[in-house]
Structures are given as structure tokens and as C-alpha cells.
Structure 1
Amino acid sequence: MLLGRLRDPYINYRHRRLFHVLRVSIALTVTFAVVHLFPLEHSSWALVSTVMVMGNLPHIGGVLDKGRQRLLGTLVGAGIGLLLISLPIPGRGVQIGALVAIAIATWLVFSSRQAYAGLMFAISLLLVIGNGAPDFSVALWRSADVLIGTLIGIAATLVILPHKATDVLRFMLADNLDRLARLYHAHTSATSAPGVDTRELLKATSALLVKQRGLVDAVHREGRLSRGEVDELISYQRRMLSTIELLLESHWTTREGHDRINAMQGLRDQQHSLARDLGTLAFQVRTGQPISTDISPFELHSFAELAVGARGTDGRMLFSPSGYLWLNRELARVAASTAQRLASLERLPSKRLRRRAGRHGLHEAQRLDSKEGSQNDPGSH
């Protein structure tokens, strides 16, 4: 029972800081034990490597990516270093060769995803050549220590309370969809929902988009979603956020335009339905369910006459009602595309999350949200 709770993705996400501290501490303990039980020279490099690989990355994908780059950079850098000090190069030829190799590596990894591998290449190469003297023993020990520490860090991340970047992305996506639903509902309600600070919600939603962007490589490394799929989900969120922000920040230049919108019977019902659908979509993502939310497009034909033929008291055309309807239609269209894309991701749903969703109150929270939304929806009475 306890093991099931500790492997629950939602529990791991909520307590990821504590679990990460435990993982790093246990990994360092294991590394300390290894360097004390076995006669490893320059053993401090093993300890440093363990910390460097795990660092501030609490999820599997990030550590795998960083560990892979560290191993690659270490092996190639150490190999070239051993080659340089083994060749009969006179004078400062070893240092010159190392500078040329580092320059080439820096050029190749500049502004790429392999920048950390390039850094480890340079560090390993410099550690091996030292002052240029052909000391193979020191070079081999330093390389071995780096490899041992890196492997211990990777193993600890995979075995000890494993935490996946895919689950981090899942919960961040669900949180953002919830916030978008709340923002849109606050905008479409006759009176603003009490306690809803739109500026803070907009800021929090934007911040989570930035964090999701930083997870792209880690999620891809875990093999459940590709970089393109994650980029697409982030793009949909950004477009919905921009549209809702435009709706929130829009101001009517004339009273006539506002009255025209209020006269559109059924518009508020469609808006409230879209807000509820966004909330339901967030719930399905958070609880690992297959996505079944079907978001209907906005039906604007019945409002066409009121919008297109709108004129002010001075006889001029009013363009604001048409623009307002277009923004709502675009929001519904992007939300529907988001739901369809999520439904097509066969590897995103989680059986473990579905089994344990009721244990941490997610089903009850969804029922309360639905009840509150119905009470605030004028069309439901």
C-alpha cells in the first residue's frame, strides 16, 4: 500500500521537492560508500559527478538527458586526452591540440541541445591532459570516477521514487486548462466571480507555459511524447491564453456595442458551456483518462444580423460586436483542436493515475467544480 502511494504520479508531483532531496541524499550516500569500500583515486570526482547529473532535475527525462550528455562528453574528451598524451608531441603540442579540439567541440554544440556534452568534453579533456605530462594513471582514474558518479546518479533517479517529466507536463497542462476555464468563466459571468484575480491567474498561466517549454527535451527523452507533440500542446495553450487576455482587456467604445452583445440570446449559454468543457478537459488530463471531451464550435449564424447590421446612434457601423464574436469563435476552435490533439496521444493517459484519482480527492473536486459552475450559469436555471 505504501509503495503504491509513493509511486503515485500525483503524490510524486505534489511532493517532488522532498522526494528529490531524498534521491540526491541516497545517491550521494551510495557514492560515498563506493569510494570508501573500493580504492578509488581522485574519488571526489565521483561525488561531484553524482551531484552534477542529478542537480536540480527531479525527473527521469532530465537526468537521462544530462547523464547521457555527461557520459558522451566524458568518454570522448577522455579518449582524445589519452590520445594526445600518448602521441610523441614535442613542447606544448598537447595543450595546443587540446585547445583545437575544444574549439571544434564548442563550435559544433553552439546553441544546440548538446551544449552540456560539449562542456563535459572540455572538462574531461583538460582533466586528462593536466599539464601535458603523459600520466595515464591519473587520466584513467579521473575518467572512471566521472563515469561511476554519473551512473549512480542515473540509477538513483530511475529506481528511487521515480518521477517523470511527462507527469510534470501533464499536471502543468491540467492546471493551465483549469485557469483558462476560470478566466473565461469570470469574463462571461454577468458579475465577476468573487475572489478571481484575473491578473494573477494570467501571470500564473504564463509562468507555467515557460516551465513547460523547459520540459520539452526531458519529456522527449522519456519516449512517451515527441518534441513536436509537446510544442503543439504549448502552442494551443498560448493561443487560448492570448485570446482570453484579449477578451479580458477589451473595452467597449460605445454603449450600443455592449447592448448588442447582451441582446444575443444564447451567447452566454455557449460561453458557459465552453468554460465547463475546458474544466472537464483539465480533469481528464489530470486524472490520466482518455480524452473524450467534445468541444462544439460556436454557432454564430443566429447572431449574424445583430452583429453585421449593428449601427450606433450616429448611424455609423459598429465593428466591436463582430470582433467580439470572432474572438469567442477562435477560442472555441483552438480549445476543440486541443481536445482532439490530446485525444490522439495514445501514450498520455495513465492507468495508475486513473486507479488512484479517487484516493487524493480529484473526483470529488471535479464534482464540486461542476456544481459551482451550474449555479453560476444563468442558463442552467
Structure 2
Amino acid sequence: MLLGRLRDPYTNYRYRRLFHVLRVSLALTVTFAIVHLFPMQHSGWALVSTVMVMGNLPHIGGVLDKGRQRLVGTLVGAGIGLMLISLPIPGWGVQVGALIAIAIATWVVFSSRQAYAGLMFAISLLLVIGNGAPDFSVALWRSADVLIGTLIGIAATLVVLPHKATDVMRFMLADNLDRLARLYHAHTSATAAPGVDTRELLKATTSLLVKQRGLTDAVHREGRLTRQEVDELVSYQRRMLSTIELLLESHWTTREGHDRIDAMQGLRDQQHTLARDLSTLAFHVRTGQTVSADIRPFELQGFADLASGARGADGRMLFSPSGYLWLNRELARVASSTAVRLASLERLPSKRLRLRAGRHGLHEASHLDSKEGSQHEPGPH
């Protein structure tokens, strides 16, 4: 029972900082025990490798990616270093060979996702050759220490309270969808310019978008979502945020345009329905369900005459009502595309999260949010 709670995705997400500290501490403890129980030379490198591979990466995907690059870089760098010191060449020849190899590796990994592997290649190669004198014992021990420390870090991340980047992405996505729903509802009910709370929500939503983008490689490494799928989800959120921000910052140059929008019966109801649909979408993502939210498109035909025939007191055409309606339609369209894309991701839903969602009060919280949204009275823009 306790083990089930500790492996619960939502518990791991809420206490990810504490669990990460425990993982790093346990991994270092194991490494300390190994280097004390067995006569390992240069054992400090094993400890350094354990910390380096785990570092500030609390999730499996990040550690797997970094650990893989560290292992590949170490093995290749140590292998080339051993080859150089085994050749019948003077010490300066070994150093020149190392410089050439490092230059080539730096060129290959420049501005690529394998930059850390290139760094470890250079470090391992330099550790092996030392001052250029052939010392196979030192070279082999240094390489072995790095490999042992790296493997311990990876094992600790996989076994001890494992935390997945995919779940971090899931909860950040759900939080952003909730914030977008709140921002849009604030727009439909506001009577003034955005307040402090609205601006804070905009800032928090943007921050989570940046963090999600940074999880792309880690999520891909875990094998449940591809880089393209993560990029698409982030893009949908960014487009919805931009549209809502335009709506929040909309200002009417004439009273006539405002009155035209206010006279469109049923528009506010559609807006409130869209806000609730976004909340429902967030609820499905957060609780690990298969997304089934059907976000209805905006029906604008009934408002066509009021928008297209809008004229000011001076007889000039008013374009603001049409633009305002277009922004709402675009938001509904992107929200619908987001729901369709989420529904197509067969590996995103989580059975474990669905089973334990009620224990965390996620069901109740979502229903309260829906009720709160439905009880707001429509207000003028």
C-alpha cells in the first residue's frame, strides 16, 4: 500500500524536490560504500560521476539522456586515449593527437543535443593521456570509476521513487489549460483592463510553457511522447495564450463597437462554455483519463449582420466587432485542435493516476471549478 502511494505520479510530482534529494543522497551513499569496500584507485571520480549524472535532473528521461551521453563520451574518449598512449610516439605526439580528436568531437557536437557527450569525450580523453606518458593502469581506473558512478546514478533514478518527465509535462499542461480557462473567463466577465491577478496568471502560464519546452528531450527519451508531439502541445498552448492575451488587451475606440458586441445574444454563453470546456480538458489530462472533451466551434453566423453591418455615428464601417469575433473563433478552433491531438496520444493516459486521482481530491476540485465557472453572471467586455 505504501509502495503504491510512493510510486503514484501525482505524489511524485508534488514531492519531487524531496524525492530527488533522497535519490541523490542514497546514490552517493551506495557509491561511498563501494569505494570503501573495494580497493578502487582514483575513486573520487566515481563520486563525481554519480553527482554529475543526476545533478539537478529529478526525472528518468533527463538522467537517462545525460547518463547515456556520459557513458558514450567516456567509453569513446577513454578508448581513443588508450590507443594514443599505446602507440610508439613521444608524449607531445600523444597530446597533439588528443587535441585533434577533441577538435573533431567539438565540431561534430557543436549546437547539437549531444554536446554533453562531447564534453565527456574530451574530459575522459584528457584524464587517460595525462601528461602523455603511457600509464594503462591509471587510464583504466579512471574510466572504470566514471562508468561505475554513472551506472549508480542511473540505477538510483530508475529504482528509487522514479519520477518521469512525462508526468511533469502532463501536470504542467493541465495547469496551463486551467489557467487559460480562468484567463478567458476573466475576459468575458471583466469590466476593466487586466488586473494584477490576470497579469500574474499570464506570467505563470508563460513560465510553464518555457519549462515544458525544456522537457522535450527528457520526455522523448522515456518513449511515451515524441519530440514532435511535445512541440505540438506547447505550440497549441502558446497560440491559445496569445489569442487570450489579445482579447484581454482589447480596447474599443468607439462606444458603438462595444454596444454591437454587447447586443449579440448568446455570445457570452458560448464564451463561458468554451472556458468550461478548457477546464474539463485540463481535468482529463491531470487525472490520466483518455481525453474525450468535445470542444464545440463558435457559431458566428447569427452575429454576422451585427458585425458586418456595424457603422459608427459618422456612418463609417466598424471593423472591431468582426475582429473580436474572429479572435473568439480562433481560440475555439485551437482549443478543439488541442483536444483532438490529446485524444490521439494513446500513451499519455495513466491507469495508475486514474485509480488514485480521487485520493488526491482531483475529482472534487475539478467539479468545484466547473460549478464556479457556471455560476458567474455574464458581464460586458
**Aligned-partner Cα distance in 2 for 1:96–1:63:** 33
Trace 1:163-202 onto structure 2 (pairs within 5 A).
Answer: 163-189=163-189, 191=191, 197-202=197-202
Instruction: Give the drift of 1:91.
Output: 4.7
Per the alignment, residue 237 of structure 1 pairs with 237
**Aligned-partner Cα distance in 2 for 1:67–1:377:** 54
Question: Residue deviations 1:271-298, cap 9 Å, x none?
Answer: 0000000000000000000001000110
Per the alignment, residue 104 of structure 1 pairs with 104
Q: For the Cα contact (< 8 Å) 2:193–2:248, is it kept in 1?
A: no
More displaced stretch, 189-198 vs 178-187: 189-198
**Aligned-partner Cα distance in 2 for 1:126–1:60:** 29
**Aligned-partner Cα distance in 2 for 1:4–1:68:** 29
Trace 1:16-165 onto structure 2 (pairs within 5 A).
Answer: 16-165=16-165
**Aligned-partner Cα distance in 1 for 2:108–2:187:** 50
Per the alignment, residue 328 of structure 2 pairs with 328
Q: For the Cα contact (< 8 Å) 1:269–1:377, is it kept in 2?
A: no
**Aligned-partner Cα distance in 2 for 1:194–1:135:** 69
Q: For the Cα contact (< 8 Å) 1:186–1:192, is it kept in 2?
A: no
Per the alignment, residue 248 of structure 1 pairs with 248
Q: For the Cα contact (< 8 Å) 2:91–2:131, is it kept in 1?
A: no
Q: For the Cα contact (< 8 Å) 2:59–2:164, is it kept in 1?
A: yes
Q: For the Cα contact (< 8 Å) 1:186–1:196, is it kept in 2?
A: no
Instruction: Provide the secondary structure at the position in 2 that maps to 1:197.
Output: helix
Question: Residue deviations 1:178-237, cap 9 Å, x none?
Answer: 000000000011557999711100000000000001100000000000000000000000
**Aligned-partner Cα distance in 2 for 1:195–1:303:** 29
**Aligned-partner Cα distance in 1 for 2:103–2:252:** 59
What code does the residue aligned with 1:353 have? L
Instruction: Give the drift of 1:364.
Output: 0.8
**Aligned-partner Cα distance in 1 for 2:91–2:190:** 82
**Aligned-partner Cα distance in 2 for 1:98–1:170:** 44
Instruction: Provide the secondary structure at the position in 1 that maps to 2:357.
Output: helix
Instruction: Give the drift of 1:320.
Output: 0.3
The alignment of Structure 1 onto Structure 2 pairs a total of residues equal to: 379
**Aligned-partner Cα distance in 1 for 2:377–2:368:** 14
Question: Residue deviations 1:123-148, cap 9 Å, x none?
Answer: 00000000000000000000000000
More displaced stretch, 193-202 vs 361-370: 193-202
Relative to structure 1, is the Cα distance of residues 193 and 318 closer, same or farther in structure 2, using a 3 angstrom cutoff?
closer
**Aligned-partner Cα distance in 2 for 1:18–1:91:** 49
- Percentage of pairs with the same residue: 89
Q: For the Cα contact (< 8 Å) 1:300–1:325, is it kept in 2?
A: yes
Question: Residue deviations 1:36-87, cap 9 Å, x none?
Answer: 1111100000000000000000000000000000000000000000000000
Instruction: Give the drift of 1:90.
Output: 2.6
Unaligned runs of 5+ in 1: none
Question: Residue deviations 1:4-37, cap 9 Å, x none?
Answer: 1100100100000000000000000000001011
Relative to structure 1, is the Cα distance of residues 270 and 193 closer, same or farther in structure 2, using a 3 angstrom cutoff?
farther
**Aligned-partner Cα distance in 2 for 1:197–1:327:** 22
Question: Residue deviations 1:133-179, cap 9 Å, x none?
Answer: 00000000000000000000000000000000000000000000000
TM-score by length of 2: 0.98
TM-score by length of 1: 0.98
What code does the residue aligned with 1:110 have? F
In the TM superposition, structure 1's runs of 4+ consecutive aligned residues that sit over 4 Å from their partners are 190-196
Per the alignment, residue 344 of structure 1 pairs with 344
**Aligned-partner Cα distance in 2 for 1:192–1:261:** 16
Relative to structure 1, is the Cα distance of residues 144 and 190 closer, same or farther in structure 2, using a 3 angstrom cutoff?
closer
Question: Residue deviations 1:277-326, cap 9 Å, x none?
Answer: 00000000000000010001100000000000000001100000000000
